[in-house]
Amino acid sequence: MELLKKRIAEEAIVINNDVLRVDMFINHQIDVELINAVGKEFHRIFKDCGITRILTIEASGIGIACAAAQHFSVPVVFARKGRHKNVGDDVYSSKVYSFTKDESTDIRVSKKYMLQSDNVLILDDFLANGSAAMGLVDIVRQAGARVAGAGIVIEKGFQPGGRLLRSEGIRLESLAVIKSMENGFIEFE
Ligand code: 5GP
């Protein structure tokens, strides 16, 4: 997606060759116009897949998932990190290792909001080692539902998440794939 790549090239900040900061339009301040274009693009890619629900993970995935969901007219469910009174104990859960925080957390989704009949589109902001996305896949599979595909805004292609998802038979569609970020220079695939 050219518009997204342009914004990354012009504004994103590379930290330590492997973390990209995009807090100016996705992770802290949100450029709604850009995120709406991202949502529209995910709809263009997955519109014929019979999606019944979009699943993401808090917090940064939520805006992206909502932008896409408007076009699919399906509900968004976001996996919560840790225990929440709003979610209760009747949940599907999975362990996710946080790339940015360097710690493991349990993610939870209420069984009410993931049904065996669901055909689920997983959306997230970044793909690095694939732990967050695989945690979401695990939750969908625990429910006996189907993963229609995974849509990622920024995939770091030099990290193993993409390979992991594809080896699990997941259709992966990333809107911008970064080949390398050596010495602060961002190269796209
Ligand atoms: P993974 O689970 O694939 O290792 O990492 C994906 C999750 O970690 C995403 O949900 C995202 O929030 C965060 N993440 C991974 N890499 C980056 C990065 O380079 N920049 C930012 N801002 N978040 C990242």
pLDDT, tens digit (0-9, with 9 covering 90-100), for 54-64: 999 999 999 99
pLDDT of residue 152: 98
Q: Which residue has the higher pLDDT, 118 or 88?
A: 118
**Under a CB-based contact definition with an 8 Å cutoff, are residues 154 and 175 in contact?**
yes
Using one digit for the tens of pLDDT, what is the confidence trace for 126-154? 999 999 999 999 999 999 999 999 999 99
CA of 127 to the centre of ligand 1 (A): 6
CA of 126 to the centre of ligand 1 (A): 5
User: CA-CA distance, 10 to 5, in Å (whole number)?
Assistant: 8
pLDDT of residue 99: 83
CA of 141 to the centre of ligand 1 (A): 22
Dihedral (Cα; 57, 60, 66, 69), 10-degree rounding: -50
Mean pLDDT of 166-187: 96
If one residue of 14, 28, 126, 177 were mutated to test the ligand 1 pocket, choosing by the most ligand atoms within 8 A of its CB, it would be 126
Nearest CA to ligand 1 atom 4: 129
pLDDT tier at 44 (50, 70, 90 boundaries)?
Answer: very high
User: CA-CA distance, 17 to 158, in Å (whole number)?
Assistant: 11
With a CB cutoff of 8 Å and minimum separation 6, the contacts of 122 are 54, 55, 56, 133, 136, 137, 140, 147, 149, 150, 151
CA of 146 to the centre of ligand 1 (A): 24
Q: Quick check: 3 pLDDT over 90? A: yes
As for ligand 1, residues whose beta carbon falls within 6 Å of it are 19-22, 27, 57, 60, 99-100, 124-133, 161
Q: Quick check: 123 pLDDT over 90? A: yes
CA of 91 to the centre of ligand 1 (A): 24
Mean pLDDT of 105-130: 98
pLDDT of residue 102: 86
Instruction: Return the ∠ at Cα 118 (arms to 112 and 124), rounded to 5°.
Output: 90
With a CB cutoff of 8 Å and minimum separation 6, the contacts of 62 are 56, 76, 78
Burial (0-12, 13-18, 19+ Cβ within 10 Å), 49: middle
pLDDT of residue 101: 85
Name the token pair of 3: 């518009």
Atom of ligand 1 nearest to the CA of 127: 3
CA of 21 to the centre of ligand 1 (A): 10
If one residue of 60, 102, 122, 125 were mutated to test the ligand 1 pocket, choosing by the most ligand atoms within 8 A of its CB, it would be 125
